Amino acid sequence: MKASEIREMSIEDINKKIVEDKKELFDLRMKQATGSLEKPHRINFLRKEVARLKTILKEKNDGSEK
């Protein structure tokens, strides 16, 4: 998901997406620990996606306080 697409989302939608991505990330880490992970690149992608979502969420929250 591109940053421009995330910026169009509401704060509630961004929070939901963060929760979904963190859950998937947790599941992938468990699969990695058991050795049954098929797409190891997905872990790195999700980590960056969560960081991107949190960054834009912080921008939105800081902008609304001013």
pLDDT exceeds 60 at position 66: no
The mean pLDDT of 7-32, rounded to a whole number, is: 96
pLDDT exceeds 90 at position 64: no
C-alpha distance across the termini of the chain, in Å: 28
Interatomic CA distance for residues 60 and 62, integer angstroms: 6
Predicted TM-score (pTM) of this structure: 0.87
Domains of the chain listed by start with CATH number: 3-65 (1.10.287.310)
Per-residue b/e over 23-32, b at no fewer than 16 CB within 10 Å? eebeebeebe
User: 36-60: per-residue pLDDT in tens?
Assistant: 999 999 999 999 999 999 999 999 9
